[in-house]
Structure 1
């Protein structure tokens, strides 16, 4: 079996390793446009904030490792076209400009995503940067040394983490977002109100519900101010973090995709063409809260999908269980976890939901210390099946988001969670675990 892998970050790396482990004798050809593999872009903010000393520490594999495992790895090679009928890819060697074709029995599409670049006047200024890969991380770090005023455009996870990183290293930080709240996709107002107040108290300027209309640059081509309908914000450095789009140009019109190009796959990671497998940021996940496809680019999804490609490429073995979009965030001492839909996002997914919010202590007050936990449970209004949840505390309770993720995946009801068996030990929790208490509050609200 000859396998061609297009793209090799998280899903690609996991796929290559698993294919070679599970399919002895398979010929694996890897084509990657960059000069590196497996870069953890989620760690860029840690590097910018000098928590991680070197960007090189954010790699967990390398081309040599994949070669040693038996793959034929072609770095700085760009796949230009895919002929799905002839089962061939057209490849350009980016160093020599040579082009050639490569045949395959099975094709693995792990082409990832790319930051959205809005067509804003002036966006091509020298000091307006994207935040995705290793080279961009190095450039941001180099330019931050001489930058005092930093503007982040986009209030999702990456944007917020960069806000913290720059603020912690003494920069004057402004966050601009077109929505009226930060982290809108992940958290409801009960949580974002707390975080926004904390950011303002730390001197971060929040320009919410504002869109960037243009960038003004100086005579050297460097941006000096960011213009919104509400005014101008001075800038020595701008980072664009307004979201991601799937790298789907190679397969548009050739296999089934969402309108944005995200590839649809079945439970064995096959596309509509059974000889083409796909995983990672270029793929639409099966979203368990709705039972439908959704575009949720996360490294966890990518690694899981890549592993399943390797498990199934030689025959159907392990089913894809779908995802809840579970994620965690550390922001200025707050430990935050979320999974599934929130009340704000539910209408977008066609769900009619209800919810409860509870504040409690994570362990008894008689212990020497304890911390407040803010929790929210989101559930289907008719069936009472849990479809999402959010937790936040100065104490690290983020693993509870994983517990809620399992509840969503297994379609547990609020009553199931209210009385599920969790241990009690005063060092760790109360006689009723705080998740039990949260679900019992939902049951009380529903008269159960």
Structure 2
């Protein structure tokens, strides 16, 4: 019986484990999963919405319990097992069982590394103070929720997806929110003209935003609790600080192996999720993803990619063949009254890659323009000037953004041109759309 070892008990790891169970059949594979935390298979992307109140309890984010994996599927699902190193020559995984503080060694025939990523906490004075948080796991969430009581002033460091989602969540809960980002715009994956719409929303909703500012120190009260955040000589009082300054692949335990890592520590894999080392696979936030538009590997750690890569890894580890088809860089988030989405390349990215690119901007409405309750929708299409192939899009509005970005993502996946996109047969009825979809209205302006 083959021995399958999986490092990581969340999206990629457990998607792979379930594929092995289904393809090999119950009892026909020895599957051991090693999770350094205490919770398996939970929705990390849902964490801000527990704070905001749309999700009632942290446990609602758990897709399957550990007992389910153990009792229904026969998986040896271990908790608090932290992997310290991998011996690829002898096909062994070594680590520490945190419960007993004892070392362990497990031998594998096939190994999947699905160890995810860790939040980045900058090495600044005061980050070890009480009241300073990151948000990546359910225990992080529970600690933050406990610390929220009777607090009023929150500082968020980082203006990316998570930072903006947290700003929304805490503003909804009545906090005074200060948002600091060292970049000169929010959501740097958007072009500056589109990100300006998010900046306007922060002004309308009373969120204090400081762009182009870097946090240099956190001040601490005599009690040991954070009391202020410093940006050079400027100082702002605060009750809570949450760092949303990005994540890094959890792969330091592989540094003594021959497994190829990118410059930032993500694992190189092929379309079957294989590493360069025999019988070792990788998937999820610790691995790279092939970007179909860039035609090169990229690091885009999202739950959608982790689940897909995990399924593909598990299928290939089982002996069948399945290939990861790559990503086009699609992402979406809600920010107060707005939804912001993007796919493919921004104009800035296209120019940095040296592509002959241009863009068109269009402001339309989410439904037929003669409805009283229509909402504005802002669209930017990026395309090649030499052959008019679509390169990407950014869409921001109060309604209908999700529908539009998914259509464009599908068009990008199939290498469609502006003309082909304009000719798509999209649904129309006045309560849902104009006779010309606003995305196609934008495409018509490319001439």
Match of 2:221 in 1: 218
Q: Report the CA distance shift for 1:425/1:315 in structure 2 as closer, same or farther (over 3 A).
A: same
Unaligned runs of 5+ in 2: none
Match of 1:207 in 2: 210
C-alpha deviations, 1:322-357, integer Å up to 9, x for none?
012211111112122211221233345554421111
In the alignment, structure 1 residue 165 sits paired with structure 2 residue 166: no
Match of 1:17 in 2: 18
Distance across 2 between alignment mates of 1:196 and 1:51: 24
Distance across 2 between alignment mates of 1:243 and 1:106: 31
1:304-383 equivalences under 5 Å are: 304-367=308-371, 369-383=373-387
Contact 1:286–1:322 (CA<8 Å) still a contact in 2?
yes
Instruction: Pick the aligned partner of 1:389 from 386, 393, 418.
Output: 393
Alpha-carbon offset, residue 104 of structure 1: 0.7
Match of 1:49 in 2: 52
Contact 2:366–2:400 (CA<8 Å) still a contact in 1?
no
SS at match of 1:46: helix
Q: Report the CA distance shift for 1:347/1:19 in structure 2 as closer, same or farther (over 3 A).
A: farther
SS at match of 1:263: coil
Distance across 1 between alignment mates of 2:31 and 2:150: 45
In the alignment, structure 1 residue 247 sits paired with structure 2 residue 250: yes
Moved more, 388-397 or 300-309: 388-397
Distance across 1 between alignment mates of 2:180 and 2:350: 24
Alpha-carbon offset, residue 316 of structure 1: 4.8
C-alpha deviations, 1:169-188, integer Å up to 9, x for none?
11111000000111111x22
Instruction: Pick the aligned partner of 2:36 from 23, 33, 40.
Output: 33
Q: RMSD value over aligned CA atoms?
A: 1.6
Alpha-carbon offset, residue 396 of structure 1: 3.0
Contact 1:387–1:408 (CA<8 Å) still a contact in 2?
yes
Contact 1:298–1:325 (CA<8 Å) still a contact in 2?
no
Distance across 2 between alignment mates of 1:222 and 1:244: 25
TM-score normalised by the chain length of structure 2: 0.95
Q: Report the CA distance shift for 1:349/1:134 in structure 2 as closer, same or farther (over 3 A).
A: farther
Alpha-carbon offset, residue 368 of structure 1: 5.0
SS at match of 1:317: coil
SS at match of 1:398: helix
Unaligned runs of 5+ in 1: none
In the alignment, structure 1 residue 70 sits paired with structure 2 residue 71: no
Contact 2:369–2:434 (CA<8 Å) still a contact in 1?
no
Instruction: Pick the aligned partner of 2:195 from 182, 192, 196.
Output: 192
State the aligned residue count: 442
SS at match of 2:445: helix
Distance across 1 between alignment mates of 2:144 and 2:123: 21
SS at match of 1:345: helix
TM-score normalised by the chain length of structure 1: 0.95
SS at match of 2:155: strand
Distance across 1 between alignment mates of 2:7 and 2:413: 30
